[in-house]
Structure 1
Amino acid sequence: MPVYHIVLFRLKQGVTQAQLSAWAEKTKGMVGQIPGLRSIEAGQPLPISVPRAKGFDMGLVAILDSPEHVASYATHPAHLE
């Protein structure tokens, strides 16, 4: 059964769109490097959702094969980078 790992972020002031784009590309590059990581997507809230975002600027959803893969994902060098 897959595991959906969801993370919400509050960004530091001054983070640029170019930095976010580079981070998103690097994040997607983890698929195929980390065993059990099926897919990963990241993005900012839709304008209509901003009032309900509670101050979060970015979200990430990673789909992993099993709970055991979440543990190895958390400590994998590609993730820690």
Structure 2
Amino acid sequence: MTIKHIVMWNLRGESPQEKAHAIEFLRSRFEGLRGQLPGMLQLEVGVDSSRVGYACDVVLYSVFDSQESLASYATHPAHLRVRDELGDLRISRHQVDYAVSEAA
């Protein structure tokens, strides 16, 4: 059974340029985690293109081989470093984790 981990954020930015810079900073930091985390099977960062008022700015979609791997990710030094680098850049955060059977 794999675990999908989806996180969505809205980011700080007084202007469209500041917001774009914040988005790129977040994207580059999370994409830098590829290959560093045991049990992480997939990582994708998406940027909203709809621009509707209720949309989040960025989504992180990742897949782990087990609930234990996802739990280890939460405390892994590389992940904690990214979280610290982002600081207060994120103004809201939403998360969903769910299990998917191999047959799905």
> Which whole-Å CA distance do the structure 1 matches of 2:56 and 2:26 have between them?
17
Larger radius of gyration: 2
Using the TM superposition, give the Cα deviation of residue 19 of structure 1 relative to its aligned residue in structure 2, in angstroms.
4.1
The equivalent of 2:47 in structure 1 is 44
Query: Which structure shows the higher strand fraction?
Result: 2
> Which whole-Å CA distance do the structure 1 matches of 2:55 and 2:34 have between them?
28
Give secondary structure in 2 for the equivalent of 1:56.
Answer: coil
Using the TM superposition, give the Cα deviation of residue 56 of structure 1 relative to its aligned residue in structure 2, in angstroms.
1.6
1:79 aligned onto 2:82: no
Q: Following superposition, which runs of at least 4 residues in structure 1 exceed 6 angstroms of deviation?
A: none
Taking structure 1 as the reference length, the TM-score comes to: 0.78
Once the two structures are superposed, residues 33-59 of structure 1 have per-residue CA deviations (whole angstroms, 9 ceiling, x without a partner) of 110111211122122xx32x6242111
1:12 aligned onto 2:15: no
> Which whole-Å CA distance do the structure 1 matches of 2:40 and 2:63 have between them?
6
Give secondary structure in 2 for the equivalent of 1:10.
Answer: strand
Q: CA RMSD in A?
A: 1.9
Q: How many residues align?
A: 78
Taking structure 2 as the reference length, the TM-score comes to: 0.63
Using the TM superposition, give the Cα deviation of residue 11 of structure 1 relative to its aligned residue in structure 2, in angstroms.
0.5
> Which whole-Å CA distance do the structure 2 matches of 1:59 and 1:34 have between them?
19
> Which whole-Å CA distance do the structure 1 matches of 2:25 and 2:12 have between them?
16
Give the letter aligned to residue 35 of structure 1. P
Give the letter aligned to residue 71 of structure 1. A
Using the TM superposition, give the Cα deviation of residue 25 of structure 1 relative to its aligned residue in structure 2, in angstroms.
2.5
> Which whole-Å CA distance do the structure 1 matches of 2:19 and 2:57 have between them?
12
**Which 5+ residue runs of structure 2 have no aligned equivalent?**
82-104
**Which 5+ residue runs of structure 1 have no aligned equivalent?**
none
